[in-house]
Each structure stands twice: as C-alpha cells, then as structure tokens.
Amino acid sequence: MKITLSIIKADIGSIGGHLQPSDKLLNTIEEHLNSYGNDQFIDFYLGYTGDDVFILLTHRKGINNRQIHQLAWDTFMVGTATAKKQRLYGAGQDLLSDSFSGNIKGLGPAVAEMEIEERENEPFLVFTADKTDPGAYNLPLYLSFCDPMHNPGLLLSPKIGDGFTFTVMDVSHTEQDRIIQLNTPEDIYNLAALLRDNERFVVESIHSRKSQEQAAAASTTRLHHIAGKYVGKDDPVLLVRVQSHFPAVGEILSPYSIGHYVAGFMRGSHHGPLMPVKKNTTVSYFDGPPMVNALAFCVSEGKLTEPVDCFDQPFWDHIRDKVSRKSLDLREQGFSGPAMLPYSELEYGGITHKMEELEKRFDFR
Ligand code: F6R
Ligand code: MG
Ligand code: MG
C-alpha cells in the first residue's frame, strides 16, 4: 500500500520579530490536528526551525491532494488566529491569499511531498531551513548524490552506483512549471552548470536509476514570485529517503559540514553560511545565521517513529563554531560586494526608490 509523506511549512508569526513561534501557537496547531480523525491522515509531527512552523503528515491520499492541502491551510489559519491574539510579529505572514483554492502551493506555504511504496525498512530525513531560500539545498544535494568525496557509496555500493535522475526546476518561470531532467553521472557537469545559479535553478526531486524509486522531494516556492514583491525568504523544506538504493544518512549529512554560503540572513538580502542546527532552534545573530535542521524518522504503514535530531551530536558543535567564524568573516564587510545580495534578490524595495532619486542627481561631465 502506498503512503504519502507531506511536509508543509509556513511562517505565521513569531516572538520577538522573526525569531520563533510561541508555545501557544504550537499548542493551537497540535490541538487542531489532533481533532481530526485518522480518515484524514495517519500520523503527524509538528516542529519549527526559526520562525517557520512545519507539519509532517503521513496519509494515503497522494501528492497535491486537495483535502490534505486544505487541512494544512486551515491549520495555519487557526494558528494565525492565535498569533494575532498574542500579537506575534508577522502573524499570518506566509498566508498570501484570503482563501484556499485547491492547492496550498502558490498560496505562500512551502510544500514537499512524496508518494512512496514503503520499503521493508523506511528511513527518511526531513530538512527544514530558515532565513534562506530553496537554492540552499542545491549544493548539498549535488554533493550527496554525485560526488564520491561525500558519498563513497557511489564507488562502493552497486545499489547506488548507477546514479540518479535529477529533476531541476527553472523557478524564474511563474506561469508554468519549467523543468529539466538530468542523469548522473553522465550529466554532472550540466547539472553543476545549472545548480551554481541558486536563485534560478532548484532541485525539485531525485530518483534512483537502479530502482526508479523517488529519493528526494524539495520545495521550490519563491514567495516574491507569488506576491509580486518580496514578502520574506522562502525557507525551504526537503524530504530525503536514505539507505539501500539511496545514499546513507551520513552521506546525506556530510555536505552540511561545509557551511556553504547561501542567500538570506538579515532582511533576506545577504549571503551567510548555512549553519546545521538542533531542532527547534531560534534565530539570533543578524537575524540568522541561515540555518538548517535535519530530523531522521522511520515510518511503518504511515506511523512515524520519534525523530532523531541529526545535528544534535558533538561533531556538529565544531562545525557550528566554524560556521560562526565564516559568518563573522563575511559580516565584516557589511554591505560590500558578495556580503549583500544582487539588486534583483534584495528582500526590500527601498533601495529602488533610493536609486531612482540618485539617478536624477547624476550628470555627464
Ligand atoms: C529576513 C527576515 C528578517 C526581517 C527583519 C526586518 O527574511 O525575516 O531579517 O527582514 O527582521 O523585519 P521587518 O521589515 O518586518 O521589520
Ligand atoms: Mg519570517
Ligand atoms: Mg522564516
């Protein structure tokens, strides 16, 4: 019997300004989900990373299911009511529509879903990030699925040695989904050529070439394309199945030791290194740093185990120190050059008006 994993996240309000949701908000959401019968879904897990609340649902309704998306939308609406009552900052921020229209994608929340035939053992990871955008997963996914420096299984295991099929989305297209499929290893240079441009090309899914099974699903939403203006960073979510025909969990985690520079951070307008953090971590320094959490689960007929917090291990304390140093290194140069995002990616429009005013003051000599 097939089951579907759906992770849906939204920033619907936080304490202190984009830091983290309140206990009351989380309790409201939990109570709301618990009030549903299990004809709607089989199990759920609720958590947050920075100011983004996420719901992991297991069910039998398939991806893009209207009832599941409606349920998530209603849940975020109920949470928003609590956020408004508590006057949390940015209450309902990511709910960009007044009403639900059949699919939560395109309404603000980020979604990643996979319909799977459960294997005899079904381990998978859930990644949730804050203060960054969907391109943040491009490099780690490339390294985990294509590079023997991070994934020795590509050399050692015949189950993954045939490579993977990447589906990459051109997120500059807003009217229609524009995608390309590339097979590794033969296409890895083409894949790298696309994935270096994190703001335009984003990994949407990955499949095993050996078993044809789906290995990964990521959210690809870009909020400023939906709203027509910037309303916050997209704070992407990602599902990755691990072991056997997929990379080992440690091969998936390995690239997060780099702390690679991603878009986001203060006012969604800077670059900063991606810090692997423990679950339910708050935002802090310079409204960041950009952060990612990874939770491991096993699932049996849709029933989830408790999560294991992958970055809650002494090794990652060392990485967090390194990432803090990388963060300070770039912060030392303030607004200059690579520290700040290019014009088209700035989260705030204020600089446009400033430039318009300055244009008027320019003259030819
Ligand atoms: C970035 C982010 C924060 C805010 C900043 C100012 O994505 O959420 O860095 O941009 O705290 O917020 P406002 O403009 O709401 O005062
Ligand atoms: Mg926010
Ligand atoms: Mg956020």
SS (H, E, C) 184-206: CCCCHHHHHHHHCCCCCEEEEEE
Nearest CA to ligand 1 atom 7: 268
Distance CA 15, CA 186 (A): 48
Query: Is residue 203 a contact partner of residue 141, using CB atoms and an 8 Å limit?
Result: yes
Q: Can you give the pLDDT at residue 105?
A: 86
H, E, C per residue of 198-245: CCCEEEEEEEECCCCCEEEEECCCCHHHHHCCCCCCCCCEEEEECCCC
Distance CA 15, CA 21 (A): 6
pTM more than 0.90: yes
Ligand 2 centroid to residue 131 C-alpha, Å: 7
CATH architecture of 1-117: 2-Layer Sandwich (3.30)
Ligand 1 centroid to residue 93 C-alpha, Å: 11
Closest ligand to 282 CA? 3
Closest ligand to 233 CA? 1
Nearest CA to ligand 1 atom 6: 267
Closest ligand to 268 CA? 1
291-300 and 275-276 strand pairing: parallel
Distance CA 160, CA 163 (A): 6
Q: Can you give the pLDDT at residue 253?
A: 98
Q: Can you give the pLDDT at residue 3?
A: 98
Ligand 3 centroid to residue 47 C-alpha, Å: 13
Q: For residue 149, what are the contacts with CB-CB under 8 A and spacing of at least 6?
A: 143
Q: Is 51 annotated for ligand binding?
A: yes
Q: Can you give the pLDDT at residue 101?
A: 86
Local confidence pLDDT in tens for the 365 residues of the chain: 899 999 999 999 999 999 999 999 999 999 999 998 777 999 999 999 999 999 999 999 999 999 999 999 999 999 999 999 999 999 999 998 888 888 998 889 999 999 999 999 999 999 999 999 999 999 999 999 999 999 999 999 999 999 999 999 999 887 788 999 999 999 999 999 999 999 999 999 999 999 999 999 999 887 766 666 656 678 999 999 999 999 999 999 999 999 999 999 999 999 999 999 999 999 999 999 999 999 999 999 999 999 999 999 999 999 999 999 999 999 999 999 999 998 888 878 788 888 899 999 999 99
Query: Is residue 242 a contact partner of residue 298, using CB atoms and an 8 Å limit?
Result: no
- So where are the chain's domains? 1-117, 122-298+311-365
| 11, 18, 235, best to mutate for ligand 1 pocket (most atoms within 8 Å of CB) | 18
Ligand 3 centroid to residue 49 C-alpha, Å: 8
| 287, 340, 345, 347, best to mutate for ligand 1 pocket (most atoms within 8 Å of CB) | 287
Q: Can you give the pLDDT at residue 221?
A: 80
Query: Residue 99 corresponds to which amino acid?
Result: S
| 89, 267, 341, 345, best to mutate for ligand 1 pocket (most atoms within 8 Å of CB) | 267
Catalytic residues: 11, 230, 233
Q: Report phi then psi at 58, rounded to 5.
A: -115, 140
For the CA of 11, the nearest atom of ligand 1: 8
Q: Is 245 annotated for ligand binding?
A: no
Q: Can you give the pLDDT at residue 237?
A: 97
